Amino acid sequence: MNDLYNNDCLTALSQMRKKGMKVQFTVTSPPYYNARDYSSWTTYDDYLSFLTDVFSLVYDVTEDGRMCCVNVSCVIEPRKSRSKESVRYPIPFDLVRIMCGIGWKFIDDIIWEKPEGAVPNRNGCFSRHRKPIAYKPNSVTEYIIVFQKPTKGLIDSIIRHMPDEIVEKSLVKDGYERTNIWRINPETKSHHPAPFPLELPSKLITYYSFVGDTVLDPFMGSGTTCIAAKRLDRHYVGIEVNEEFFSFAKERING
Ligand SMILES: C[S@@+](CC[C@H](N)C(=O)[O-])C[C@H]1O[C@@H](n2cnc3c(N)ncnc32)[C@H](O)[C@@H]1O
């Protein structure tokens, strides 16, 4: 099953649930609160309740025992005037609380580390005055948080129930990431403002799904997750609300 929806993911996921559709793995990067033009919530709490609704639906359409990887990072809202301070929102930490409240089990935190030159410089002023308390490090990391939909048996029993041939075809090759710090350059050549580098969903799909599984991305953007899934002999379901990004993704996936 390969499906692409140009729709709000709340609507598309509700439709999938109604039809009884199931996916075996999700890898996604939700909008980072109001960090980009395409997102606008009145308050941070509104944003968190949107994430609660989305990942509750993702939970419902996920097969028992299977995984969901969410890429998020803390987000800075720049100060609105000289008399105000900037605000840094702890999205990854709030997300873990939300996901566990839905019923997802927290499994792992993977750190995506980018080169310092690829991120905005936050310590320009500090580097000149060096006064304590005003210190702000350049933020070169994002999180990939790994969750599992609980099931009665252990992960071993899910693997035991898979056909041997599928397990054999899906084995992870040498050179896999051995620690939870993954150094990957961000994607810089894209029409999308915040695309995954192809390496990121490719690794996650390889480590957390089997050949023939269906991989979901409810915030598909430029379609990188679906491209990775297709190349790795998985099926895909991609959802994107923005028409322009959707057309771009569709062209890339089918191209
Ligand atoms: C961080 S980007 C994802 C980028 C993607 N990982 C890629 O490789 O291009 C988040 C995407 O979610 C989309 N989006 C925001 N709200 C949405 C909603 N309610 N339903 C579906 N997509 C939404 C945005 O238009 C944006 O393209």
Atom number in ligand 1 closest to CA 54: 19
Q: Closest residue (by CA) to atom 26 of ligand 1? A: 221
Q: What is the 3-state secondary structure (H, E, C) of 56-119?
A: HHHHHCEEEEEEEEEEECCEEECCCCCCCCCEEECHHHHHHHHHHHHCCEEEEEEEEECCHHHC
Q: Is 219 in the pocket of ligand 1 (CB under 6 A)?
A: yes
Q: Closest residue (by CA) to atom 10 of ligand 1? A: 31
Q: What is the CA(163)–ligand 1 centre distance, in A?
A: 34
Q: What is the pLDDT of residue 39?
A: 65
Q: What is the pLDDT of residue 98?
A: 98
DSSP 130-182: --TT-------EEEEEEEE---SS-HHHHHHTS-HHHHHHHPPPTT---SSEE
Q: Is 38 in the pocket of ligand 1 (CB under 6 A)?
A: yes
Atom number in ligand 1 closest to CA 196: 8
pTM: 0.96
Q: What is the CA(246)–ligand 1 centre distance, in A?
A: 9
Q: What is the pLDDT of residue 219?
A: 98
Superfamily the domain 3-254 falls into: Vaccinia Virus protein VP39 (3.40.50.150)
Angle (deg, nearest 10), helices 243-254 and 224-231: 20
Q: What is the pLDDT of residue 36?
A: 65
| Residue 157 to residue 182: CA distance in whole angstroms | 28
Q: What is the CA(33)–ligand 1 centre distance, in A?
A: 11
Q: How far apart, in Å, are the Cα atoms of 241 and each of 91, 180, 212, 254?
A: 21, 32, 26, 19
Q: Closest residue (by CA) to atom 27 of ligand 1? A: 221
Q: Per-domain residue ranges for the chain?
A: 3-254
Mutating to test ligand 1, I would choose from 4, 54, 241, 252 the residue with most ligand atoms within 8 A of its C-beta, which is: 241
Sign of the dihedral defined by the CA atoms of residues 186, 192, 196, 202, in that order:
negative
Low-confidence ranges of the chain (pLDDT < 70): 36-39
Q: Is 24 in the pocket of ligand 1 (CB under 6 A)?
A: no
Q: What is the CA(147)–ligand 1 centre distance, in A?
A: 20
Q: Give the CA count within 13 Å in the CB-facing half-sphere of 206.
A: 16
Q: What is the CA(31)–ligand 1 centre distance, in A?
A: 6
- Please give the helix or strand (H or E) that residue 229 lies within, else none: helix 224-231
| Residue 96 to residue 170: CA distance in whole angstroms | 29
Q: Is 54 in the pocket of ligand 1 (CB under 6 A)?
A: no
Q: What is the CA(233)–ligand 1 centre distance, in A?
A: 23
Q: What is the pLDDT of residue 27?
A: 98
Atom number in ligand 1 closest to CA 28: 6
